[in-house]
C-alpha cells in the first residue's frame, strides 16, 4: 500500500505548480480528484497521472455547493488562483473550514496572499526576480540567466506546497484541526536559497556580483565544457583530492605545468581557458571513458528528453510510489469529467441529486447521460 493511500485530495484545476503538488500526493497514493470546468472539452495539464476528474460549473450555485460537499469528505483541497478568487466564488477557507474543520486548505500563488505584487500576474521568472534568487544566477558582467521554469514553479512552488500539506496533516494528528497552507512561490524559492544566502553572508562560496564565486560559474573547477563532438561535460571538482584527479584526467600536473593554486580566483579565467581547450580535444564518449568510476566529479551532460519517464522521488522501499505508465506521452492527459458520476456517488450524492445537478448544468462528464433521463 502506498504511503498516502486513503488520503482524499481535491485539486482545483490550474497551471503547472498546483497540479505538480497534486501529482506528488497522487504518485504516493493519495486519491486526487481534479475539478475541471464543465465547459472544457480538454485540459492540457500534463501532470494528471494517477488522478481522476470531475467537471463542475463553478459559476452555478449548484456547482459550488457540489464542490463544498466534496470538500466535506476530503482531507485536502489545493487551489491555484490569485488572492480573492476563491472567496468571490464562495469557496474561501472560512466557508470550507466551517463545513470541514479538519480540511487542509492549500493556496498556491506566485506572490502570496498579501503585499504589493499579490494581485498581479506573473510567471516563474517574475517570482525568481522578486525573491532575489534571479540576481544570483548568470555569468559575471552578463544579465541574469533564468533557467527553465523549474525553480519557482516547481521547487519553490508545487513541491513546497506538497510539503506544507504533509506538515499540516502531521499537525492535524495532534490537534484534530485543519488549517490554511499559504504556499507562495516567492517564499518557497527564497527559502530554497537559504544555503546560498547564508554562505554569502559569511563570505564563502557565493560572492557578489554573481558569477564570481566557486559554485556559480566563477571557478574553472565547477563549470561545463564543450567537447570535440559538440556535447558537454560537467565538472564539479571542489575538494582538493577530487581536483587532483580532475587534473590527472586532463593530463595536467600542478608542479610540472606550473599551475596556479586551485583557489586563487585571480587565475580562474586563465584556467577556464586552459580547460576549455583541453575538453575540446576529445569527444564526450572519450572523456566519459577517462573519468568513469573515478572521484574526479566529471560527468557527461545528458539529454533530459532522452531519459526515462521521471519517476516519483524519494524512493520508499516498503511503501513505494506508483510507477509512471509510459514513456511516449500517451498517459499524460486526463479526460475532463471522466469519473464525474463515480466521484459524486462516492461522496454520497443520490441518483436524484445527480439528476438535479445535470439538469442545472452544474456537472458534466462521463456516466451522466443516464442520470439526465
Please, is 195 exposed, middle or buried when counting C-beta atoms within 10 Å of its C-beta (0-12, 13-18, 19+)?
exposed
Task: Report DSSP state, residue 49.
Answer: T
In whole angstroms, give the CA distance from residue 141 to residue 315: 41
C-alpha grid cell, residue 21: 503538488
Please, is 83 exposed, middle or buried when counting C-beta atoms within 10 Å of its C-beta (0-12, 13-18, 19+)?
middle
Contacts of 132 (CB under 8 A, 6+ apart): 190, 193
Distance of CA 139 to the CA centre of its chain: 25
- Of residues 124, 153, 187, 216, which has the active-site annotation? 153
HSE-up (13 A, CA, CB side) for residue 21: 37
In whole angstroms, give the CA distance from residue 249 to residue 255: 16
Task: Report DSSP state, residue 154.
Answer: I
Say whether 153 is catalytic. yes
- Of residues 123, 140, 331, 356, which has the active-site annotation? 123
Which residues are annotated as catalytic? 123, 153
Amino acid at each position: 500500500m502506498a504511503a498516502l493511500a486513503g488520503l482524499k485530495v481535491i485539486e482545483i484545476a490550474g497551471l503547472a505548480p498546483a497540479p505538480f503538488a497534486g501529482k506528488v500526493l497522487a504518485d504516493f497514493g493519495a486519491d486526487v480528484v481534479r475539478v475541471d470546468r464543465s465547459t472544457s472539452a480538454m485540459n492540457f495539464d500534463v501532470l494528471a497521472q494517477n488522478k481522476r476528474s470531475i467537471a463542475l460549473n463553478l459559476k452555478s450555485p449548484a456547482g459550488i455547493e457540489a464542490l463544498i460537499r466534496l470538500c466535506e469528505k476530503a482531507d485536502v483541497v489545493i487551489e491555484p488562483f490569485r488572492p480573492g478568487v476563491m472567496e468571490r466564488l464562495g469557496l474561501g477557507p472560512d466557508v470550507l473550514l466551517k463545513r470541514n474543520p479538519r480540511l487542509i486548505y492549500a493556496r498556491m500563488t506566485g506572490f502570496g496572499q498579501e503585499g504589493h505584487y499579490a494581485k498581479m500576474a506573473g510567471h516563474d521568472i517574475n517570482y525568481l526576480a522578486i525573491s532575489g534568487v534571479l540576481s544570483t544566477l548568470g555569468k559575471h558582467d552578463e544579465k541574469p540567466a533564468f533557467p527553465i521554469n523549474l525553480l519557482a514553479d516547481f521547487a519553490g512552488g508545487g513541491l513546497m506546497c506538497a510539503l506544507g500539506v504533509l506538515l499540516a496533516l502531521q499537525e492535524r494528528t495532534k490537534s484534530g484541526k485543519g488549517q490554511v497552507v499559504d504556499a507562495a512561490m516567492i517564499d518557497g524559492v527564497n527559502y530554497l536559497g537559504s544555503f546560498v544566502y547564508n554562505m554569502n553572508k559569511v563570505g564563502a562560496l557565493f560572492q557578489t556580483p554573481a558569477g564570481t564565486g566557486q559554485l556559480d560559474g566563477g571557478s574553472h573547477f565547477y563549470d561545463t565544457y564543450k567537447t570535440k563532438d559538440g556535447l558537454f561535460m560537467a565538472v564539479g571538482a571542489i575538494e582538493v583530492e577530487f581536483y587532483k584527479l580532475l587534473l590527472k584526467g586532463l593530463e595536467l600536473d600542478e608542479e610540472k605545468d606550473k599551475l596556479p593554486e586551485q583557489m586563487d580566483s585571480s587565475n580562474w579565467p586563465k584556467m577556464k581557458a586552459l580547460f576549455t581547450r583541453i575538453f575540446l580535444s576529445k569527444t564526450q564518449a572519450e572523456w566519459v571513458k577517462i573519468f568513469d568510476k573515478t572521484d574526479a566529479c566529471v560527468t557527461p551532460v545528458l539529454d533530459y528528453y532522452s531519459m526515462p519517464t521521471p519517476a516519483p522521488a524519494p524512493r520508499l522501499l516498503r511503501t513505494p510510489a506508483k510507477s509512471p505508465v509510459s514513456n511516449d506521452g500517451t498517459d499524460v492527459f486526463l479526460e475532463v469529467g471522466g469519473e464525474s458520476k463515480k466521484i459524486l456517488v462516492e461522496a454520497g450524492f443520490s441518483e436524484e441529486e445527480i439528476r438535479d445537478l445535470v439538469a442545472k448544468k452544474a456537472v458534466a462528464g462521463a456516466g451522466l447521460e443516464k442520470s439526465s433521463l
